Amino acid sequence: MRRLALLLAAAAISRPAFADDVAFSRLADEGSISITAARATRGSGPTATVVIVLENARGDRVFLRRAPVDGGGASYQIWLGGPPGVTFTRRGDTVLVEAGGHSLTIVESEIARPTVACWVATLVSKMEPKLLDVAAGLSLLKEQTGGPPMDDAFLPVRLLWPVAPPSDLRPHGAVRFQKGPFHGEAFDRLAAAATAELGRR
Amino acid sequence: MKRAAAFAALFFLAAPVSGAGFFDGVPSKGYVIDDVSLDVLSATGGTDPIARLRYVRLSLDPGRRDIAYDFWPQREMLMVERATGEKVIFERLLRLQPGADPSAWSPRGRVGLEGSALETFARTAGAQGPCGALDVLIRAGNVDLPVSSGDLSVRTVRLGVAQAVETAVSERGRELVASAVPILFAATTKGLPAPPLDMLNLLFPGRAFARSAEGLTFRQSAGAPLDPAGGAWRSVTSAPLMLPGTPVF
């Protein structure tokens, strides 16, 4: 009986608490621009952890990770290559922006003010110089599609867009948003990358 | 721990936006236009002054004679020495000749304390980059904070400036500034000007300093005037050479 209880306990530990949900989408123009997104979700509602991996045609990846934080609110990370990149922790109407051991507290609705934009751009560009360009490029592409608006997990992109210089991305023709499912080894790798980041703390 | 956190919060902007020191490029010789020294007495404090004040306005010699004397730059120094010996100076620079680059920062106001200072700079033209449109620079210790003068009511800006100031100036130093303000406003009745205090709106945005002081009286200072080049004042400001009269061309 005791052995059975131990086996059941071990089985419960080895099973994931929630089934991870992975969804794909793609943004592409009529030229060479193509961005595939894998979105992995664990849990639901405000306590959900969400990881989005964006990959361009050259294989460069941008990671976005949204997770709840103790005491309420949520943290949003964005990085190129490897974490930690830049972290935005939202509590109420303020957002703590952290990068490279430095931080800045901003009121979210003031992001477009010249001074606030300067401070955020300075902090981010010193730690992740390409991040502002990436945010501007993503926002530009998203603006040109009829797809759904960027949701909560895209907070870093939405906050960095107003402070970023105009994107030099030049889409050819119409930019289309396409929802998955997609199948193939490349998508499996992308899904695995997103799922792996779900459990990271 | 809180101070360390605040320091980290704004250290990212510590890279020198303007590498120049406040007094770099400011003429170091001036002719005295106004010079007022006062003792501050408290109705409850006996005959010993609770503070001594000196206000000096100088016409700074630009070192060239193609500028009429009336257009020379000016420096105002408002010195406060408490009975405890603690010192604070409020300084303002006016009419500085614009440099070759109008987007370069030019010194404007300074609060000097023993061991720390708060400084403001301004520029007349924007520059390139995400901070290029900002027209004011606040230097608090080793932190440079560019700010738009139109954003002083913005909460993020108030919070950021307050953090920088708290990090750069000790609590006692900030108390010294705050306690000097009502004295100096009261002293305006004796001819001391208030404009050198205008920079407090930049350095402490949103803070309402007490302006009225009850029970204070002023008398012409009986002792030697406060000397910015003397003793501990040397750590509070960069003393100019102060000459009487007007220049002989």
- According to the 3-state scheme, what is the secondary structure of chain A? CHHHHHHHHHHHHHCCCCCCEEEEEEEECCCCCEEEEEEEEECCHHHCEEEEEEEECCCCEEEEEEEECCCCCEEEEEEECCCCCEEEEEECCEEEEEECCEEEEEEHHHCCCHHHHHHHHHHHHHHCCCHHHHHHHHHHHHHCCCCCCCCHHHHHHHHHHHHCCCCCCCCCCCCEEEECCCCCHHHHHHHHHHHHHHCCC
Q: For residue B13, what pLDDT is reported? A: 54
**Which phi-psi region, left, alpha or beta, contains residue B215 (left: φ > 0; alpha: ψ -120 to 50)?**
left
Nearest CA distance, A73 vs chain B (angstrom): 19
**Which phi-psi region, left, alpha or beta, contains residue A13 (left: φ > 0; alpha: ψ -120 to 50)?**
alpha
CB atoms < 10 A from the CB of A47, how many?
Answer: 10
Amino acid at B201: N
With bands split at pLDDT 50, 70 and 90, how would you rate the model's confidence at A1? very low
CB atoms A119 and B159 under 8 Å: no
pLDDT at A15 over 90: no
Q: For residue B243, what pLDDT is reported? A: 94
With bands split at pLDDT 50, 70 and 90, how would you rate the model's confidence at A143? confident
A63's tokens: 């990671």
CB atoms < 10 A from the CB of A62, how many?
Answer: 24
Please list the ranges in chain B whose pLDDT falls under 70.
Answer: 1-19, 249
Q: For residue A13, what pLDDT is reported? A: 35
Q: Are strands B136-140 and B143-147 parallel, antiparallel or unpaired?
A: antiparallel
Q: For residue A3, what pLDDT is reported? A: 47
Of the partner residues A104, A125, A126, the one whose CB lies closest to the CB of residue B160: A104
Q: Which residues of B touch A99 (CB under 8 A)?
A: 12
**Rounded CA separation B30/B60 (Å):** 4
Of the partner residues A117, A123, A163, the one whose CB lies closest to the CB of residue B12: A123
Q: Classify B107 as helix, strand or coil.
A: strand
Q: Is B162 on the interface with A (CB under 8 A)?
A: no
- Sequence-ordered list of residues with C-beta below 8 angstroms from that of A155, at least 6 positions apart, any chain: A66, A76, A88, A90
Q: For residue A168, what pLDDT is reported? A: 85
Q: Which of B7, B144, B155 to mutate to test the interface with A (most CBs of A within 10 A)?
A: B155
Under 8 Å between Cβ of A47 and A33: no
- What is the per-residue pLDDT across B94-122, written as a single tens digit (0 to 9) for each? 999 877 888 889 999 999 999 999 999 99
Q: Is B243 on the interface with A (CB under 8 A)?
A: no
CB burial readout B115-133, b (16+ within 10 A) else e: ebbbbbbbbeeebeebbee
CA distances from A109 to A21, A95, A112, A113 (A): 32, 10, 8, 9
Under 8 Å between Cβ of A39 and A22: yes
CB atoms A113 and B151 under 8 Å: yes
Backbone angles phi, psi at A157, to 5 degrees: -65, -45
Q: Which of A115, A126, A128, A160 to mutate to test the interface with B (most CBs of B within 10 A)?
A: A115
pLDDT at A109 over 60: yes
Please tell me whether the interface predicted TM-score (ipTM) of this complex is above 0.90: no
Under 8 Å between Cβ of B161 and B148: no
Of the partner residues A99, A101, A105, the one whose CB lies closest to the CB of residue B159: A105
pTM: predicted TM-score of the whole model, two decimal places: 0.85
